[in-house]
Structure 1
């Protein structure tokens, strides 16, 4: 009988799943709380006027979004290093604790509100995220070994924690940052990251040996195991050649120059190499060099695999291209859309409209928080005897949340008129995911489940419709106008369609990675997929930084038309590629 059976984790169940899953649920929830809470106020703070009761730093939009883009890009690249360290050196659980501690220090640094501490804080957040992000799901995977039929439900619960954290973080850090003070908003993100780390650390007894520091591997034995498990007689290994390493080196150096130089040039007017080529700045030149080099690397490496592997990896690479452009548009939600909300949306409500909004805000705040609190109480009943201190810390966290929520609602209901916070609209994404995700899950599980190319096409086109609403709403805004009073309805519709597009496309990436890529190559293609998301995030804010320039030269409507037309065209291309992609996937659905 196997001594390391995972059956032990299913003895104390909460809502049909191991209690350890819900420890991970709340740990991830606080991490997402801190990430999305900080991100919700960063650009508004940096670009805010330097006068008034709650002054910002009056950065240019281009500079603020350049910093955000570099941060968002590195957030998706450092997990590749953190995952390797956890797998081979320190273990999953220690990686999570280290990551949470680094992120706590990062948020604390940002709360000091000086440029030096801002950069230190962002650097710590990037490093901490690298340790934290990849290893939570690794612990779940290990916990459910031998219980594959339960995995889908486990990941659904876990990702509800992701969305709950995003919802609460944006709502509370956003409100506190806007209404009380920016440093309090950044500091609040750090407080809950610290409490989440402590709650996880003191819950270690629930996880047994899962996530411990890995034992030393015997190289010879592992080599035989890898070949015998993952390689059949029809497959061939594809070792890295000198040309591969050369291309990787050129790509890495070029990408790093671009990643570092872009914010340096826009924030501090510091040019790394200070040259122009054919009208391109050094930042843009190295960005293009990195992109071309990576494409050449794929073109050289992929054909060297066996036919079926080659075809499936080509299919996955095509999906990664669509992924880049999807996130380049979708991530406007963190950059240009908050600025549009602040400057061009009528957020002042009076009379019945103000009352209606307050009631809606009350419902969308209290109901999700009440459901999460119920889950918390269920966890307490099952685990308090084993991890009492962890539960006390978690309970204290929720007391703070409820106190802030009650104070927020009290203040809002006291005022006759209401100014809707800029960050309030960002919670709609998480809210719509919670509402619509079960419907999409039923769709994917039905006989009407569309093929991959159709899902990608639908995701791009549906998201584009959201930007189409904004393009239509801003059609009459004069050239160069820096303010307008447009209806909030357009923003709500935009976030709704962006979320529906996300539900079509976003979950597909890792799913098709596991289906199309042989096990021995998952690490390489996982890196490619995360690189695609990272590029999409950087591209989003690189283009978004030009919102003022485009508004002045062509009009605000033209800015949103970019994110309407390009995704629609790519969505139609995805539909058209269906016969080819179906052939390349060799039976994988």
Structure 2
């Protein structure tokens, strides 16, 4: 962007009451959102990478490394419900923000609740763990949907710059995940669980303050909704669909949605209750040998299909066909996340129990050099952005910049302490959490390359992107199955297999994940966007729950068959799903009615 166009862009921002200071060609407000999201993801992933490890670690009386000694089935049941609810509460948080709070206040409320949740987690007692997870679910419901809503509103009059803005924002997500898993994971595994959970809470609190003090930068963006804005949204139509007509929910629709919601949530809560506490709230639903909670979720699924089919029948042909295309995409998303999210459950246990993580001598030196570059280079780049932002905004939001300085001083201190400890050790065991940072690292490494392919003449249709995403991810599990083939008790796998698996999982994610939401926005009428995004997140929630349930079976399947067999499940199922969605290309292309 040349100086003249930058000046014009800055003037347009000022007319909207937004700070016109530009950082790397974008409004300073974008980078406030970048860092707010970064610290939230730092906290979220820093806690997440420790949770399954903590729950399944051995009980060591009086030790800061004492876990709860749960088996993977119990840990998977709790984590699965937590992950599932994380994708459901944003549906309601977005509605509350749209109608009452406004996006900015919703973000602050969500961040404050999450800060409280992380504080609870630091005590790692049963009561506080459950309170903490509950607060994180509730807080995420307010925070997650409204950060992107602020960004979208800020760029409302600059659609040509929105793609670049989302790319920068996505880097904030991955930077936070990278440093959170690295530093919280290191503290948790090397010093004590309290420290890892506590560090996540500290940065969530500082990130909240940083965003709150930056209010002058945003002007009226994200303010509570006015009557005029509400009327404008209500009148929104899809100009591509002149025949699109309202299809209000009938009384029967509403009743069935209520019943299926109760049954679905009943399953979600009953699963950990029955496996951890032995309390089965749905035992009266049992039919023969089928558990009551499984009967309940099957009934909910049947009701869901009935409501979807009956509503689709009431739409005009073009709208109906395009909605069917979205539903097909959502169906295959379940298989992707069911496999991909093993990174939060079974792969944590695999890394701890079955991967050779011990290093000494020259191998330790090489690892320390690589780890230093992985830590210092991205941290230096992000710090440079902080300096640029501070130069532009210190006069308007000084307190926000002071908090940001404290945040980065803290991260640098913990990172340098970690590196010093590893360089001065004669031998070391790589933390389990270190492998989880590979996903964020490979996203940052390959995201630009993949996006260039999508922008070129080689850009494949959506069905092939989905198929490639599923198949490429499956290759990662195939490598793990090969690496674990024939190993016996006491023998461990080289860490190379796990690193390669994460690389293929990430490439699969880059093929599939960004495409989904894009096609929802293209195929769905404007007035239904919120509802269909809710459907999309519901599919991801189901995938997360299935991932935890199946991942919790790692020890059971390994004992009955082999570790290689366990990984083959996540190799074969996604490959079959990937081939199937590619074979459906002619059908889905017809259903999309010209949408590219």
TM-score (norm 1): 0.96
Aligned mates of 1:551, 1:245 — CA distance in 2? 44
Note the alpha carbon deviations across 1:147-195, whole angstroms, 9 max, x for none: 1111000000000000000000000000000001101111100000000
Which deviations, in whole Å up to 9, do the C-alpha atoms of 1:346-382 show, x marking residues without a partner? Answer: 0001211111111100000000001000000000110
User: 1:179 matched to which residue of 2?
Assistant: 190
2:41 counterpart of 1:32: yes
Listed as ranges, the matches of 1:75-474 within 5 Å are 75-216=86-227, 225-226=235-236, 234-275=243-284, 276-474=286-484
Using a 3 Å threshold, how does the CA distance of structure 1 residues 346 and 133 change in structure 2: closer, same or farther?
same
1:20 to 26, 29, 47: 29
Tell me the distance in 2 between the aligned counterparts of 1:34 and 1:223: 34
Q: 1:552 aligns with which of 547, 559, 567?
A: 559
- Residue 236 of structure 1 deviates from its aligned partner by 2.6
The answer (yes or no) to whether the contact 2:234–2:527 under 8 Å persists in 1 is no
Pick closer, same or farther for the CA change 1:547–1:9 going to 2, 3 Å. Answer: same
Is contact 2:236-2:526 (8 Å) kept? no
> Pairwise CA RMSD of aligned residues?
1.8
Deviates more, 1:46-55 or 1:379-388: 46-55
In structure 1, the partner of 2:7 is none
Q: Do the aligned partners of residues 6 and 454 (structure 1) sit closer, same or farther apart at CA in structure 2, a change above 3 Å counting?
A: farther
Distance in 2 between residues matched to 1:21 and 1:416, nearest whole Å:
44
1:567 partnered with 2:588: no
Moved more, 32-41 or 469-478: 469-478
- Could you say what secondary structure the match of 2:220 adopts? coil
- In the aligned structure 1, how far is the partner of 2:52 from the partner of 2:235? 50
Q: Deviations over 1:268-289 (max 9, x none)?
A: 1110032432422122222222
What are the superposed Cα offsets for residues 449-468 of structure 1, whole Å, 9 maximum, x if unpaired?
00000000000000000000
Alpha carbons of structure 1 residues 144 and 317: separation in structure 2 relative to 1, 3 Å: same
Does structure 2 retain, via aligned residues, the 8 Å contact 1:37–1:166? yes
Could you tell me how far apart the structure 2 residues matched to 1:197 and 1:218 are? Answer: 27
Q: Quick one: structure 1 residues 568 and 554, their matched pair in 2 at CA, closer, same or farther if it must change by over 3 Å?
A: same
CA shift for structure 1 position 217: 5.8
Cα shift at 1:247: 2.3
Counterpart contact for 1:6–1:143, Cα < 8 Å? no
- Of residues 367-376 and 265-274 in structure 1, the stretch that sits farther from structure 2 once superposed is 265-274
Q: 1:485 to 1:297 in 2, by over 3 A?
A: same
Contact 1:178–1:421 (CA under 8 A) maintained in structure 2:
yes
Q: Is the 8 A contact 2:247 2:314 kept in 1?
A: yes
The separation in 1 between residues aligned to 2:64 and 2:101, in whole angstroms, is 46
How far apart, CA to CA, are the structure 1 residues paired with 2:425 and 2:166? 42
Verify the 8 A CA contact 2:17 2:218 in the aligned structure 1.
no
Post-superposition CA distance 1:478-505 (Å, at most 9, x none): 4xx4x53110010011000000000000
User: Partners in 1 of 2:281 and 2:435 — Cα distance?
Assistant: 38
**Structure 2: unaligned runs, 5 residues or longer:** 1-10
Q: 1:508 aligns with which of 512, 515, 522?
A: 515
Distance 2:170 2:229 in 1: 36
Three-state SS of the structure 2 residue aligned to 1:475 is coil
Q: Is the 8 A contact 1:343 1:484 kept in 2?
A: no
Task: Return the alpha-carbon distance in structure 2 between the equivalents of residues 569 and 63 of structure 1.
Answer: 29
> Among 81, 91, 100, which residue is 1:70 paired with?
81
Q: Hey, what does 2:4 align to over in structure 1?
A: none
Inter-partner Cα distance in structure 2 for 1:500 and 1:540: 19
CA distance in 2, matches of 1:100, 1:384: 23
Supply the distance in 2 between the matched residues of 1:358 and 1:337 (Cα, whole angstroms).
Answer: 23
SS at match of 1:349: strand
Structure 1 residue runs without a partner (length 5+) = none
Contact 1:6/1:146, CA 8 A, preserved across alignment: no
Question: How far does residue 98 in structure 1 lie from its aligned partner after superposition?
Answer: 0.7
Q: Say yes or no: does 1:58 pair with 2:73.
A: no
CA contact (8 A) 1:251 1:293 kept: yes
Counterpart CA distance in 1 for 2:272 and 2:320 is: 38
Give the superposition deviation at 1:231: 9.3
Change (3 A) 1:233 1:31: closer
Tell me what 1:525 maps to.
532
**Corresponding residue SS for 1:84:** helix
Shift of 1:69: 0.6
Residue equivalent to 1:576: 583
Conserved 8 A contact 2:479-2:497:
yes
Instruction: Report how many aligned residue pairs link the two structures.
Output: 583
